[in-house]
Structure 1
Amino acid sequence: MGYPDNVLANDEQVVLHRHPHWKRLIVPVLVLLVASALAAFGAAVVAETDWDPTAKQVVQLVIAAGWLILVGWLTVWPFLTWWTTHFVITDRRVMFRHGLLTRSGIDIPLARVNSVEFRHGLADRILRTGTLIIESASQDPLEFYDIPRVEQVHSLLYHEVFDTLGTEESPS
């Protein structure tokens, strides 16, 4: 489990490590496909014209530069953002890390978790994703969006919280 190992305490164990749901990548993939098709079509149209070879080359370079900017901004950047976002549950805490150039994150000790909720609409239910809401002792509720299999994560986190607390309410 590559990422979280470098931030764990000596005897801390990862229980769950997830990236956001793949639904976040649907629009970037569609942008890649449409932009590539349009750029290829534009380059083919320019190649068939009877313009001066230098003019053709300049227009094709403009098409290629536009494609690179569009794909970089609307496809590569969202993918890298998705790839560098981590939701991790250990036997001691919940960690959320995100960001590519500027990283940020939050750690919530399991002993400080008051309640765990989840929310998902029809589309999220079909895609098996949703929003996990964690309320801790000292903060407003934190919402983590697009958590894959949110109901399982909710149940797992509930069990971990009560196992950590060692209360009689523990579902074990």
Structure 2
Amino acid sequence: MAISPKLLNDGERIVVSCRTHVKALFGPIVVLLLVLIGGIVLTVLEIGNDTVDKTINYAAWVIMAAVAVWWVVRPFLKWWTTTYTFTNRRLMFRTGFIAKEGRTIPLNRISGVDFEIDLLDRIFGCGTLVVTDASEAGRVELHDIPRVEQVQKVVSEELHRQATGGRADDGT
């Protein structure tokens, strides 16, 4: 998902844009399945028709809906609205649906781009992109980036291109 073109300056172009790998939604999917199974079991096991049983049933459904909103809808919206974008001038990450939050790091302040891949990341084809910059924070970790090795390569090439003033490296 690319960022809005109105956020780009004149002459700025997108080099890489992505969001967190879909594996970030596996936990919320499990919670959703458990809530649905609980709701089905609750509905099937409804024994009486008296008001107390119906009230307990409705209260349980309200609690399950609250659980679904907090542990399913909220993480999905966070995943959907979070983007990481490298342009030829800066790294931007933006998140938020109603209340938005963002951070920008100029590429000329980035001193290194590394990646880390553990066993689970390797299975899903993602990893952590580690951006080292000249700020007091010094290190920004972008977790669960799809195809992290290719992203690291493209960003490193852009950093090298800027460091050499756009000259081709002839290997000498």
TM-score past 0.5 threshold: yes
**How much identity, in percent, do the aligned residues show?**
33
Matched residue, 1:30: 30
Query: Partners of 1:59 and 1:107 in 2: how far apart?
Result: 50
What's the CA shift for 1:38?
A: 0.7
Q: Show the counterpart of 1:156.
A: 154
- The one-letter code of the counterpart of 1:153 is V
Which residue identity lines up with residue 163 of structure 1 in the other structure?
Answer: R
Q: Deviation per CA, 1:19-57: give whole Å up to 9, x if none.
A: 1011110000010011111111102211xx1341x3343
Q: Letter of the aligned partner of 1:78 in structure 2?
A: P
Q: What is the rounded CA distance, in whole Å, between the counterparts of 2:25 and 2:35 in structure 1?
A: 15
In the aligned structure 1, how far is the partner of 2:73 from the partner of 2:170?
43
In the TM superposition, residue 4 of structure 1 has moved relative to its aligned partner by 3.3
Contact 2:2 2:18 in 1 (8 A): no
Report what 1:39 is aligned to.
39
User: What is residue 115 of structure 2 aligned with on the other side?
Assistant: 118
Query: Deviation above 4 Å: which 4+ runs of structure 1?
Result: 167-172
**Structure 2 vs 1, CA of residues 2 and 151 (structure 1 numbering), >3 Å: closer, same or farther?**
closer
Contact 2:131 2:141 in 1 (8 A): yes
Which of 94, 98, 102 is matched with 2:95 structurally? Answer: 98
What are the Cα deviations for residues 95-142 of structure 1, in whole angstroms up to 9, with x where unaligned? 111234542221111122111111111111111111111112334111
Gap regions ≥5 residues in structure 1: none
SS of the aligned residue for 2:84 comes to strand
- Report if aligned partners of 2:115, 2:128 keep a CA contact under 8 Å in 1: yes
Q: Which moved more, 1:118-127 or 1:100-109?
A: 100-109
Structure-2 residue corresponding to 1:82: 79
Query: What is the CA–CA distance in structure 2 between the aligned matches of 1:80 and 1:136, rounded to whole Å?
Result: 29
- Counterpart secondary structure, 2:129: strand
